[in-house]
Amino acid sequence: MIYTDKVMDHFQNPRNVGMIKDADGVGKVGNPVCGDMMTFSIKVKDDRLEDVKFQTFGCGAAIAVSSIVSEMAIGKSLDEAMKITNEIVAKELGGLPKNKLHCSNLGADALHAAIEDYKKKMKGEEAPEPGKKEELGPKKVHCPYCDGPLEGLEAICARCRVELEECPHCGKATKKGEEKCVHCGADLRAG
């Protein structure tokens, strides 16, 4: 696997690592297939991203993507930051190997999720109550793998495209066909 010098620089010397205390918005995404997880936190002032920090668990490409996305976003208006796409991220890094392009998606998605979280807070929308049982169906439910929104009754994550089903033991969404529930650890093969 060949990485550009810029990818290697951002992997070896990542910028803006950490979490912002009292962040205005937080976005978390992940890819259950490769195991990459990214969390972005933002501070907003006068409709601009005053600060952007990230925490990433994943490969070198995922870390490099998180670092460059944070640099690209700082100082931008919220609308400008929402226009950062996976293509722009990959181009900014001088390209990524085909099997690592999904990382550029995750970086842009995590930033966008943090901005959406900020916008919801500004509208006064409350976050779901911790520990409250989530149900599949038309009600808004989030993927346990990347925290993305689920689409319709099919319970497919709009972000990571994982198909989910309700655990008969705890009632929370878990990956369809999984042997054990990601929440309660119950054996799902027993039915």
Q: Which residues are catalytic?
A: 34, 103
SS3 (DSSP) at 5:
helix
Q: Where are the beta strands (DSSP E) in 114-166?
A: 150-151, 156-157, 164-166
SS3 (DSSP) at 69: helix
Query: Alpha-carbon distance 22 to 28, whole Å?
Result: 16
- What is the three-class DSSP state of 100? helix
User: Residue written as tokens 């490409």?
Assistant: 61
Any alpha helices (H) in the chain, and if so which ranges?
Answer: 5-12, 60-73, 78-82, 86-92, 101-123
- Say if CB 123 and CB 38 are below 8 A apart: no
Phi, psi of 43 (to 5 degrees): -120, 130
What is the Cα–Cα distance from 34 to 160, expressed in whole angstroms? 11
Asked if 77 and 48 touch (Cβ cutoff 8 Å), the reply is yes
